[in-house]
Amino acid sequence: MLLEHLGDNNNNQKKDKPDPAPNVPINAPNEPILEEEDHGQEEEQNHGEDSSRVEETETTQAPTLRRSARLEGIPSGSPSSSSEESRPSSDDSYVPSSDESHDQESSYEPTQPILRRSEKNKDTIYYNAQAVAHPIQAVCSFAFVPDDHLAFLGKIDQDLIPKTYEEAMEDEYWSNAVDDEVGAMQKNETWYETDLPKGKKAVSSKWVFTIKHSSNGDIERYKARLVARGFTQTYGEDFTDTFAPVTKLHTVRVIVSITTNLSWDLWQMDVKNDFLQGELEEEVYMTPPPGLEKTVSLGKVLRLKKAIYGLKQSPRAWYRKLSTTLMERGFKRSESDHILFTLQGSKGIIVVLVYVDDLIISRDDK
């Protein structure tokens, strides 16, 4: 009975399994329906188009059908699919034709490029002129500096420059420089004591120190400047116009060319305490500077008669003073460049070129 029972189960399984379709392999999956070829045949039958158009449609659509067939693992039924089945197993003995290679290239869509980063260890380069945008910000090398300039560069940071008035008073050189500056202001009658009017505001000031070196690097002198904090000024109250002309580069070239070709003498002069010479037209008040608090009465301020460094109108006041003085002595101001002054007389001609506090003076040999 056990054998009969097993035989019945096998018969039932055979009955449940469907019969395969005729002329179709059992293990082969269903072929895709070639809609493009059927569609081409319908167009040929219904519209009567010429055979050349049908062939063009089939050739353009065949790569897509073959590609889908290759992806599904099913023969596409086209001539190219049969050729793929008949390829030899060795890749070296088979050379695809030009039409086949063209179809294979056209059947694949372009893909995005793959970024590949090198895993090689790279050493970071420091202080290299090719590794930074601005090499001077990374390193300062003295390799290409001439020997006669090394002495000057070596003495730049040799002496300490004070930042405050209290630091300067600890050194005799700086204290003498402060005394010289205060003496020059008092001799020039730069200010006088007064009460601060109602509604007026006094500007503050500070000391600025620096060292002037000669061409060989030696210290020429210690400089101390009393500088007003001009950013505390208010337009319309203690200053108005601030413009002051400066020389043009082509004017300097013309003067130098004339003096060279005509063999004139040429001098260069620097005006000391130039801004202290300019007279102020506005009412400017200043609080006592550091170091002079004891010399000024309590509750008093300084009314400035002449300009000092740091005021917004100081360059203009100095130019007005210089130009007025030169024209009072017979000089004529050029209309093309207002910083060029000339004086022509029976003894010859004198030319004065002004650049803030630097003057270029030349004359003929008469």
Mean pLDDT of 178-197: 90
Let me know if residue 301 belongs to a domain.
yes
Quick one: pLDDT band at residue 219, thresholds 50, 70, 90?
Answer: confident
Quick one: pLDDT band at residue 247, thresholds 50, 70, 90?
Answer: confident
Let me know if residue 5 belongs to a domain.
no
**Least confident piece of the model among 71-75, 163-167, 259-263, 348-352:** 71-75
Let me know if residue 332 belongs to a domain.
yes
Average pLDDT along the chain: 74
Percent of the chain with pLDDT over 90: 31
Let me know if residue 331 belongs to a domain.
yes
Let me know if residue 231 belongs to a domain.
yes
Question: Tokens for 160?
Answer: 């300490």
pLDDT score of 37 more than 80? no
Question: Tokens for 213?
Answer: 């070196």
The reported pLDDT for the residue numbered 72 is 45
| pLDDT single digits (tens) 267-314 | 998 888 788 888 898 999 999 998 888 888 888 999 999 999 999 999
The reported pLDDT for the residue numbered 59 is 46
**Least confident piece of the model among 11-25, 211-225, 265-279:** 11-25
pTM of this prediction exceeds 0.85:
no
The reported pLDDT for the residue numbered 199 is 87
pLDDT score of 96 more than 90? no
Percent of the chain with pLDDT over 70: 61
The better pLDDT of the pair 258, 15 is held by: 258
The better pLDDT of the pair 203, 104 is held by: 203
Quick one: pLDDT band at residue 152, thresholds 50, 70, 90?
Answer: confident
pLDDT score of 134 more than 80? no
Domain count, the chain: 1
The reported pLDDT for the residue numbered 83 is 43
Domain region containing 191:
153-363
Let me know if residue 164 belongs to a domain.
yes
Let me know if residue 214 belongs to a domain.
yes
| pLDDT single digits (tens) 40-89 | 455 445 544 455 454 444 444 444 444 444 444 444 444 444 444 444 44
Let me know if residue 70 belongs to a domain.
no
